[in-house]
Homo-oligomer: A and B are copies of this chain.
């Protein structure tokens, strides 16, 4: 008979589900010093299969947490998308085109990284371990309630979750009642949290049925290490090379293949990996795939394209990742959307929990990420239709032409790379003074740019100066600091920004500006005359905080920052959110507008 004990505990944030969305949330919160716990129903982490594509923007995000180096060491890189289509005479496929896998130029990492989900989870787990946080598993939530009495008090614990730890089959479970300030439900497509609050999934199931096979291939196909879109007269197929020598094949099946006719649902027992490989072989003819030594993992699935009707409950419970959006895996978006959901949410929770921001800040999570998820579904519908369609041939003039496909591929480049995402105007996105930095789009992530440090002429990637440390960043484009008149303007700006009623001091806990903000100055002075000591101390608090807009000493990188960003030469203040998105731009004489920007969601420090 099972032994059962009950304990009670309090935590700032309880994360339910230790997949990519949950782990990103937990790591980011732990990194920000928030009291966080994470539970998962699985007794151990994923070992094979599942999602695997990391888009350029997600690599940037991982880099901002110090995690990209390991990802890049372990992952495969996809630099090329190769397109194969039927040869009109032989009917077999032939190479039509090799293009850049990432068509956007504005990317720091011009490729997609592929690595199995378990390895990506390990990167987070090791980072969390260093921060003292481990996943409790197997642990399942049993009930969840939000107390209406307390929900408006930032420092209350209004969410009551009952957890059952341990494996019931093994006869030992412990029950725990957790009182949390906030709960994140990152518990997958069949989310228990979502169902507990009766949140609907809106959208539909498609007829497209696909099979997936992971293996080490033995083949004469020359593009086996590239992402390939193969349209043949015998079905479509996608190749995704993976870490090591592994390759994933996505294989289009007939709409009835693997579907149980009685229920209309996928039935995995109706098909196996060798049938899937046979279908792949037909579409890849005349190239040969020999029998692989082993199949690492395989599955079949039907594409569902759905978004949750809401992403949060009473500003206290949030759902993220697959729990709130499902779509086809072929554009490689799933894991990226999930991790970016909680990257968006984590800093907002940290600011509210620290007492720096109002609960209202949290509403921007649903605003920003639900819109994104809807766009994702719309994109996915078009892309999946093109991908699953028959190729255009002499006999099938309504089919999908290579030109149609490549056009869509490039049109959606900003979307598939993740760097094109632009959040709409809100209390934290203010584009009023956009014209002062024309190409630094308010709502988009700060693009990569090499700057040179004024004191030692060492080149730095601007994005690396803005780590995900839950602080807002103030980029002070200082103009030409070698000019006395500009230095005078800067001195006046420093006086206004550093004033007791300026945003830096109003919203700064304990009088330490740098607890909530980091400030970086970027001068347009020439290399020969620049002096880091010419920048007012507020903007150059240490010699390492002042940069210049020049090429490095070997003229191989850097320069043209003001031009690339469309910065007004008289100088501009740019506010970058803790997640790396441009929040606001303002000229030197509009400090009061920046003050108002922060006043809209920030609580003055006592």
A residues lining the B interface (CB < 8 Å): 76-80, 98, 100-102, 105, 110-111, 220, 222, 224-226, 241, 245, 455-459, 527-528, 531-533, 543, 552-554, 556
Can you tell how many copies of this chain the complex includes? Answer: 2
Q: Is B226 within 8 A of A457, CB to CB?
A: yes
Asked if B79 and A225 make an inter-chain contact with CB atoms under 8 angstroms apart, the answer reads: no
Which residues of B have CB within 8 Å of A225? 455-456, 543
Most buried by B among A78, A457, A533, A556: A457
Q: Do residues A554 and B77 form an inter-chain contact, with CB atoms below 8 A?
A: no
Contact of A100 among B100, B101, B543, B553 (CB under 8 A): B553
How far, in angstroms, from A245 to B456 measured CA to CA in the complex? 12
With A76-B456, A78-B456, A98-B457 given, name 4 new contacts (CB 8 A): A77-B458, A79-B459, A98-B528, A222-B531
Contact assessment for B77 and A456 in the assembled complex, using a CB-CB cutoff below 8 Å: yes
Contact: A226 with B531, CB < 8 Å?
no
CA distance A98 to B531 in the complex (A): 12
Residues of B within 8 A of A527 (CB): 98
Neighbouring B residues of A543 by C-beta, 8 Å: 224-225, 245
Bound form: Cα–Cα A543–B225 in Å: 9
Interchain CB contact under 8 A, B111 and A458: yes
**Complex Cα–Cα for A304 and B407 (A):** 70
Question: Is A456 a contact of B79 with CB atoms below 8 Å?
Answer: yes
Complex-state Cα separation, A300 to B527, whole angstroms: 35
Which residues of B sit under 8 angstroms from A456, Cβ to Cβ? 76-80, 225-226, 241
Asked if residues A79 and B458 are in contact (CB atoms below 8 Å), the reply is yes
> How far, in whole Å, are A101 and B457 apart by their CA atoms in the complex?
10
Which residues does chain B contribute within 8 Å of A554, judged by CB atoms? Answer: 100, 105, 110
- A77 / chain B contacts, CB cutoff of 8 Å: 456, 458
Q: How far apart are the CA atoms of A142 and B468 in the complex, in Å? A: 57
Within the assembled complex, what's the spacing in Å between the Cα atoms of A533 and B219?
10
Neighbouring B residues of A459 by C-beta, 8 Å: 79
A110 in complex: contacting residue of B78, B222, B553, CB < 8 Å: B553
Shortest CB-to-CB span from A200 to chain B, Å, is: 42
CB atoms of B220 and A533 under 8 A apart = yes
Report chain B residues within 8 Å CB of A80.
456-457, 553
Which B residues touch A102, using CB under 8 A? 553
Instruction: State the Cβ distance, A43 to closest chain B Cβ, in Å.
Output: 32
List 29 contacting pairs A-B, 8 Å CB cutoff, sorted by A. Answer: A77-B456, A77-B458, A78-B456, A79-B456, A79-B458, A79-B459, A79-B553, A80-B456, A80-B457, A80-B553, A98-B457, A100-B553, A101-B553, A105-B554, A110-B552, A110-B554, A110-B556, A111-B553, A222-B455, A222-B531, A222-B533, A224-B455, A224-B543, A225-B455, A225-B543, A226-B456, A226-B457, A241-B456, A245-B543
Contacts of A226 in B (CB 8 A): 455-457
> Quick check: A457 and B79 within 8 Å, CB to CB?
yes
Hey, which chain B residues are within 8 Å of A111, CB to CB?
A: 458, 553
A79 nearest CB neighbor, chain B only? B457
Measured between beta carbons, the chain B residues less than 8 angstroms from A556 are 110
> Which 4 residue pairs of A and B lie closest in terms of their CB atoms, listed nearest first?
A225-B456, A225-B455, A100-B553, A222-B531
